[in-house]
Amino acid sequence: MSKIAFIFPGQGAQYCGMGQDFYEKTAIGKEVFDKASELLGFSVPELCFEKNDRLDITEYTQAAMVTTSIAMMRVLEAEKGIKPSVAAGLSLGEYCALAASGVMSDEDAIKTVRQRGILMQEAVPQGLGAMAAILSMEASEIEEVLSDMEGVQIANYNCPGQIVISGKKEMVEKANEKLLSAGAKRAILLNVSGPFHSDMLRGAGEKLGEVLDEVDINEPVIPYVSNVTAQYVTEKEAVKDLLKKQVSSSVRWQQSVEAMLADGVDTFIEIGPGKTLAGFIKKIKRDVTVLNIEKLEDLEKLSDL
């Protein structure tokens, strides 16, 4: 029998229309979106389904993404009865994993990421920070180049050959030059609104800790994998501190997937917009089953599980 992981994408995968069929054609999906609107004080369906200039702004993106992925997950669970053995998410997606594992209620996950988005948006003035994708270079080689550079660090260990760096804009640009000289195939500045998962976001993490003080955390029904440690979390005591650190720490996605593989996971179901995580996993281990659920019709892919 398959050992299944639910996995959830992070910021950057959003697009206009995401989750619309789940909202319009299922009672459970509609309930999740409408509850989010009630909690947040604005129309989440309008944010997600109608052309607007807010969906790509961090303080709105995060709540929109988490609402959408949770709605998809709850419909999947109800219609297919599939129960995962573990959950994980890339950066923002970790909050969907918290909901999947029972650590946070759906409502608290949505409310918390709304505050997280605002704090991250406000943490660094526009233009002072930057992020860049470094392609076709070993993580250890990138770490070596960055070891004597202050103000820039690895933000994401996505998969072999794709690492993201983050920090002060001028330092990221210098690092790009050094990494290209050291053998990176490409170094691409990303179109993002801040230097996420860098020390520049440490203050936002501290403020998020104050938000989390008011949130109820439950014992995990199933474990989830922490971005910060790439290890299974099976007890609630560590959760808040890990989430506080996550904002300014490296996202160890490749290592998280490797931990799940080592635990015997052989089927990954990506729930949410896009296929980003499916692409990463195929580069980590080619011969595993990876399915993505972003349209209602995609649920048919799960019939054989």
Q: What are the residue numbers of the active site?
A: 91, 197
Q: Which helix (H) or strand (E) holds 251?
A: none
Q: Which residues contact 194 (CB under 8 A, 6 or more apart)?
A: 58, 120, 121, 123, 124, 129, 200, 201
CB 273 within 8 A of CB 250: no
Other beta carbons less than 10 A from residue 232's beta carbon: 17
Q: Which residues contact 54 (CB under 8 A, 6 or more apart)?
A: 47, 60
Q: Which helix (H) or strand (E) holds 230?
A: none
Q: Find, among 117, 92, 102, the residue nearest to 42 by Cα.
A: 117
Distance, in Å, from the CA atom of 235 to the CA atom of 112, rounded to the nearest integer, reads 20
Distance, in Å, from the CA atom of 39 to the CA atom of 28, rounded to the nearest integer, reads 17
Other beta carbons less than 10 A from residue 182's beta carbon: 12
Other beta carbons less than 10 A from residue 138's beta carbon: 13
Distance, in Å, from the CA atom of 125 to the CA atom of 139, rounded to the nearest integer, reads 29
Distance, in Å, from the CA atom of 190 to the CA atom of 134, rounded to the nearest integer, reads 10
Q: Which helix (H) or strand (E) holds 144?
A: helix 139-146
Burial class (CB in 10 A: 0-12, 13-18, 19+), 139: middle
Q: Which residues contact 100 (CB under 8 A, 6 or more apart)?
A: 6, 8, 73, 84, 87, 222, 224
